[in-house]
Structure 1
Amino acid sequence: MAERRAKAAAEPHFLQFNDLACEAVGGKVIFATDEWFAPAANLLKREQPVFIASAFTEFGKWMDGWETRRKRTPGHDWCIVALGVPGLIHGFDVDTSFFTGNHSPHVSIQAACLDPPPTFSLEGDRTGMAASDAQLTAVAKVTRRDLQTRVYGVGQRDWSDISPNQDVDLLALTNGGVCLGYSDAHFGHPRNMIGLGRGVNMADGWETARRLDRPKHLEEDEHGVLLVPGWEWAVFRLGHPGVIRSVELDTDHFKGTFRTPAAWRCLRADHHHVFDEARSASAPPPATPPHHPPDGGISRLRLIGRLAPTSPSSTNQEGRIQTVKLRHTEQIKFNKVKCRN
């Protein structure tokens, strides 16, 4: 356990933030000078790159990335990526996996807020293609931005159009929610839980490794809660201080590795759970089998609530929440934290 967490701690801090350029949140390559061997759209894939030794296309070796022809003219190849979520960029992850004798030795990355945004776009599979003279002329009207691979940061949104009486997901990455820290992310990072829509598969959620300090024989207390020491945890900052009215926990796709009984509710496998004040007062916890593995995963986490005032006078207002901590092994708790500006 210590070795696993030490490795995670050695990574750049910004890697726990959100991937603002990922195709899953609407990121899109809107221009590339050349995409002969492999299209630039591969840069924004949710999945990690793979290598298939026997895979070839009519244009050459198939690669799960962006690969241009060998340059025979002055200049350099570049592409423009429109972020799916506007925000503050904290770092970049440039991955050259599997490009051994044909990788780019240098990369230049620039970013800008373009208002109005570019109107041009290159649609469809661009493998074996390059930008035409007309397309190069059109893109020349916009300052060139050599944006490549993953862009990590924190989303920002304009809250002026949200009514104080309107329910909104205060934790969504599109609303500025961000993961600040976690105990373990062996199979899936906790930031996946605040992503868009339902999870695609188990990899699109938060799943920790099985705890090595669990007892050899699991026992339960009189309430059916397994007696397992410790817990895994993740801390999130809301996109805007607010008052949480309901919590949604989704264990979609986690059938043999879902989180088991919580201290205040039981979780079922592959199920969308909604907890609010009305349900807590009138509905008993859903039934769950008495025995489960002590480790597992959660697909999505939504904190539905209403905005709280952001004036200095409301800094210590009770019930006003800016950060939440999710803990689990056999217990899931939300710790209210007063807003700290």
Structure 2
Amino acid sequence: MATLIAPIFDLPVHIQQLTNLADSRIGAEVLECSDDFFAEANRMLQFDAPIFVEDKFDNHGKWMDGWETRRKRHAGYDWAIVQLGVAGTIQALDIDTTFFTGNYPASAAVEACYAPNGDLSTATWHLILPNSKLGPGQHHIFEVSSELVFSHVRLNIFPDGGVARFKVYGEVKIQIQDRDQVLDLLALENGGRVIAYSDAHFGHPRNLINPGRGINMGDGWETKRRREPGFDWCILALGQSGSIEKIDIDTAHFKGNYPAQVSIQAIYIEDATDQQLIPQSMFWPYLLEAQDMQMDHIHSFVEEVLQHEKISHIRVNMIPDGGISRIRLWGKTAR
């Protein structure tokens, strides 16, 4: 049984820095769909790249890694309503038809609404992507121009067919009800994002803010072996500005390649462009001075955390190189 894995696809840099609001790992799910006879709709929200298993069939026919409807024999089109993992503004969409070559939709449109209470019966739907042509076996990146906050999207495919992955890229907009609640202010689900990094040869720093512990060594930030002086670094924006009470640095699965030390610098800044932060980050004060690391271990720091009234961005220094699985910044949002 042969399995093909979709090749790595590089998103445009400005989209890489956004959050996929339709990521099942942060709670996104398909609430309802017109049909998913061949392949269930929730598959298209998975994080992993789609696969194709040559000889895999089920009771409905060829098994496909995505959402696939039956061939339509009457007027109309198919649709799926997705509850986003977290509400936010939407800046780009990826409708991916990888491995759907003779069964992809002819075109697709996307609507969105804001219904924080989950009641869609009274929601106002906005067309954020007009009916647009699709092709076989490829990513379709569409930029969206809207400043509205949305909690749900509706993917309409014309007339039928299959979508391997559906991603909704944007910026998280959440309302913190309890300012005394301790949160991971850097977490993906709370709006954390990557701004820049020195190297990501083996694993991207966006993995640092993923939910849960790393599943393997590939689910972390890992740089190539450094052969010159210096150290590796990455700059991250907190989803919610605040004061930090505890820091967790997890080297799960990194055993022969964990960093010797890690330090964290931090700053609070408003209305800064990502590009201007990069050179200035070298001079930010420390939030956590260099700490020795161990293999495959959660390092927790409380007393070592240096006091800042509030921070909005951090620079993680991995000395000199290696791999980190997760970083958690536990604290309270700024008032």
Taking structure 2 as the reference length, the TM-score comes to: 0.67
Q: CA deviation at 1:43?
A: 0.6
- The match for 1:299 is 325
Aligned residues: 252
Deviation at 1:258, TM superposition (A): 2.7
Match of 1:274 in 2: 300
Q: CA offset at residue 101 of structure 1? A: 1.7
How far did residue 8 of structure 1 move?
Answer: 9.2
CA contact 1:27–1:81 (8 Å) conserved in 2? yes
Of 181-190 and 55-64, the range deviating more from structure 2: 181-190
Shift of 1:245: 2.6
Structure 1: stretches of 5+ with no match in the other structure:
1-6, 121-142, 216-227, 281-292, 310-341
Question: Shift in Å at residue 186 of structure 1?
Answer: 4.0
1:339 maps to none
Please tell me whether residue 156 in structure 1 is matched to residue 173 in structure 2: yes
Q: Is the 8 A contact 1:157 1:174 kept in 2?
A: no
Alignment match of 2:191 (pick from 176, 182, 186): 176
Shift of the alpha carbon at 1:109? 1.5
Alpha-carbon contact 1:17-1:191 (below 8 Å) kept: no
Gaps (5+ residues) in structure 2?
Answer: 1-7, 122-151, 157-164, 264-289, 307-318
The equivalent of 1:97 in structure 2 is 98
8 Å contact 1:34–1:68 — kept in the other structure? yes
Please state which structure has a larger fraction of its residues in strand: 2
SS of the aligned residue for 2:206 comes to helix
Mapping of residues 151-300 of structure 1, within 5 Å: 151-163=168-180, 166-208=181-223, 210-211=224-225, 214-215=226-227, 228-262=228-262, 264-277=290-303, 295-300=321-326
SS in 1 for 2:90: strand
- Code of the residue aligned with 2:254 in structure 1: it is F
Q: How does 1:12-161 map to 2 (within 5 A)?
A: 12-118=13-119, 145-146=154-155, 149-161=166-178
The structure with more radius of gyration: 1
Pick which of 111-120 and 94-103 moved more: 111-120
Larger helix share, 1 or 2: 1
Contact 2:38 2:67 in 1 (8 A): yes
2:283 is aligned to none
Name the % identity: 45
The whole-number CA distance in structure 2 between the counterparts of 1:150 and 1:168 is 26
Q: Does the 8 Å contact 1:87/1:153 carry over to 2?
A: yes
What amino acid is aligned across from residue 102 of structure 1 in structure 2?
N
Aligned-residue Cα RMSD (Å) equals: 2.9
Whether the aligned pair in 1 keeps the contact of 2:83 and 2:153 (CA below 8 Å) is: no
TM-score, reference length from structure 1 = 0.66
d(CA) in 2 for partners of 1:88 and 1:295? 35
Question: Partners of 1:33 and 1:197 in 2: how far apart?
Answer: 32
The secondary structure found in structure 2 opposite 1:84 is: strand
Cα shift at 1:305: 2.5
Please report how far the alpha carbon of residue 26 of structure 1 lies from its aligned counterpart in structure 2 after TM superposition.
Answer: 0.6
CA contact (8 A) 1:154 1:173 kept: no
